[in-house]
Amino acid sequence: MAEPVVESAAKRLVVLVSGSGTNLQALIDAIAETGPGAYGAEIVAVGADRGGIEGLARAERAGLPTFVCRVKDHATREEWDAALAEAVAAYEPDLVVSAGFMRIVGKEFLARFGGRFVNTHPALLPSFPGAHGVRDALAYGARVTGCTVHFVDDGVDTGPIIAQGVVEIRDEDDESALHERIKEVERRLLVDVVGRLARNGYRIEGRKVVIQ
């Protein structure tokens, strides 16, 4: 009689979104295609900083629990940050993934999830950090750019880099065309990185992330 196949427990993911949720959809599709055990992770909740967005609709169509934590519902950013940390912690995640989450988290959130909060950025960090990475790379005259998956720290796009993908800048590119090509690479890279972190485990040595 064949021995049963025992799959290791899937890691728990909370995904945070602010907009259309295409990175979230890429994760949903990858997990559905292989199964949580083979992928290494399952999404246990999707959170947002505002309601009525397509990212939350994607989560609801996939049958995932959702929550909204809006800055304007709290007296200070610190109170919002603590409330977001509480809302995420309620789902006991192993990893938190920013999938286009456009808010900067604070000390309370990082105290709970530092070293476990994964973000993407549409440039090859440490070049062109901040909200306009695509525009800044074009304006600088860079010939290549791309995307970075990194852990979040208390700076702006300064956390340890996990992986990067390169995108060539074409002479005819404007910001929109370039950003669309970056997003395609970004989605594939995020799905790959989150799966490897979940399946294999990792450690952070200074600024270097070592996936086991």
Element (H, E) at 17: strand 11-17
Catalytic residue among 74, 121, 150, 179: 121
CA atoms within 13 A on the CB side of 126: 5
Q: Is 209 annotated as a binding residue?
A: no
Q: Is 1 annotated as a binding residue?
A: no
Q: Is 34 annotated as a binding residue?
A: no
Q: Are the C-beta atoms of 107 and 150 separated by less than 8 Å?
A: no
Alpha carbon distance 81, 136 (integer Å): 29
Would the annotation count 103 as a binding residue? yes
21 in a labelled binding site: yes
Residues facing residue 164 across a β-bridge: 148
Q: How many helices (H) and strands (E) does the chain have?
A: 7, 9
Judge whether 74 counts as a catalytic residue. Answer: no
Consult the annotation and say whether 162 binds a ligand.
Answer: no
Q: Would the annotation count 119 as a binding residue?
A: yes
Annotated binding site for (6R)-10-formyltetrahydrofolate: 77, 102-105, 119
Catalytic residue annotation: 121
Annotated binding site: 21-23, 77, 102-105, 119
